[in-house]
Amino acid sequence: MTLQNDLILRTARGEKTERTPVWLMRQAGRILPEYRAVRDKVKDFIELATTPELAAEVTLQPVDILGVDAAIIFSDILVIPEAMGLPYEMIEKRGPYFPETVKSLADVNKLRIADAQADLGYVLEAIKIVKRALNGRMPLIGFAGAPWTIFAYMVEGSGSKTFSKAKRMLYTEPVLSHQLLQKITDSTIQYLKGQITAGADLVQLFDSWAGILSPEQYRSFALPYISQICDAIPEVPKTVFAKDAWFARQELAQLNCETIGLDWTMDPIESRKIIGNGKTLQGNLDPCVLYASYEGIRRETGKMLQAFGPHRHIANLGHGLYPDIEPDKVRCFIDAVKEFRFIP
């Protein structure tokens, strides 16, 4: 089916477009009263994410309410450990918690390579429902966590400021670490291929904890697995967002992907110089700018757009939306992108 609005796909592929496309990480979520109404109907976040009709419903909410240029499937990066045999709970206000963690080779051997249809069918089903409802209006973005970030949760067992247990394993058990990373990578490839078959038009890898590794560790334990995934997915454009991995931008530029996501600490002009002209860049407004006045939001958004320039840029925040941002402020950001006129 031809998409009515394919701005993001054309921008990802490097075509010149009539304006900069825009979407937001966490656009479907707690900032919307409509989301909270659905969320209140179920026991917890995990029930919401695993019920295809509800996941589809909240995926579609921001399309009309906010006016973005793409939908992103409502899900969670930690469905992969779950699908590999390591379940988790989402504890309100504290985040994910794994009752069991990976500590030994026996633990790694017990894990299976996730089968998209058998283990993650609920996500694929949600994607199909969303695609039918979108009816070609705009693209649907699929996603997964990057292997290092998934590894970090599976070994640490929860969020952490330092992820020192996960990093400890990289230093003390490098062979075991690579075995686990490979199993996560194989599962992620299956999963993303399933998402694409179900209808995802573009996929994004989130390496949320990229920035706590040393550059050398990132080169050994993170980049090779992201690279495998990019190489295995020729079907659709791929975005790699390695938060805080400012030090790896040169290597990220070598990946077989179309778009590199930037966080708000990475200067657009400097990043373009480092990454070169072969990639589309995505980002990177500080999420806290959306606490500013409408005038402030328009000013900061304009500065960002001008710095990236009119082509090969997908406007977004430099991280996910914070839950206490007002929807009107998000709309202001989106409208500011759509209305911006570049100074030649």
Catalytic positions are: 26, 30, 39, 76, 153
CA distance 209 to 242: 8
**Of positions 232, 322, 335, 338, contacts its own copies by CB under 8 A:** 322
Contact string (CB under 8 A) for its own copies, positions 261-300, x = contact: ---xxxx------------------xxxx-xxx--x----
CB of 30 to its own copies, least distance (A): 13
Q: Which uninterrupted H or E stretch holds 144? A: strand 140-145
CB of 285 to its own copies, least distance (A): 9
| Residue 225 to residue 220: CA distance in whole angstroms | 9
Stretch in the footprint of its own copies (CB under 8 A) among 12-20, 38-46, 129-137, 260-268: 260-268
Q: Which amino acid is at 244?
A: D
Smallest separation, CB 140 to its own copies (Å):
28
Please answer whether residues 225 and 210 qualify as being in contact, where contact means their C-beta atoms are separated by less than 8 angstroms: no
The pair of three-digit structure tokens given for residue 222, joined into one six-digit string: 């993170």
Contact map string, positions 87 to 116, toward its own copies, x by CB under 8 A? ------------------------------
Question: Least separation, in Å, of the C-beta of 338 and its own copies?
Answer: 22
Q: Residue 86 carries which side chain, given as an amino acid letter?
A: L
Burial class (CB in 10 A: 0-12, 13-18, 19+), 204: buried
**DSSP string of 107-118, one letter each residue:** HHHH--PPPHHH
CB of 289 to its own copies, least distance (A): 6
Bridging pattern class, strands 313-317 and 71-72: unpaired
Tokens 């090969």 correspond to 312
Site for its own copies in 210-249 (CB under 8 A): 211, 213-215, 217, 244, 246-247
Tokens of 184: 């996560």
Any residues with CB less than 8 A from the CB of 47 and at least 6 apart, and which?
Answer: none
Q: Which is nearer to its own copies, 211 or 224 (CB)?
A: 211
142 to 171: interface string for its own copies, x by CB under 8 A: -----------------x-xx-x--xx-xx
Gap between the Cα atoms of 38 and 183, Å rounded: 34
Nearer to its own copies, 2 or 172 (CB): 172
Nearest to 181 by CA among 159, 204, 160, 155: 155
To its own copies, the closest distance from the beta carbon of 137 in angstroms equals 32
Q: Which of 165, 166, 164 lies closest to 149 in space, CA to CA?
A: 166
Neighbours of 214 (CB within 10 A): 11
User: Closer CB to its own copies, residue 5 or residue 220?
Assistant: 220
**Sole window of 16-24, 60-68, 134-142, 207-215 interacting with its own copies (rule: CB under 8 A):** 207-215
Residues 6 or more apart whose CB falls under 8 angstroms from that of 334 comprise: 22, 24, 66, 67, 68
CB of 219 to its own copies, least distance (A): 12
Contact residues toward its own copies (CB under 8 A) are: 159, 161-162, 164, 167-168, 170-172, 211, 213-215, 217, 244, 246-247, 264-267, 286-289, 291-293, 296, 322, 324
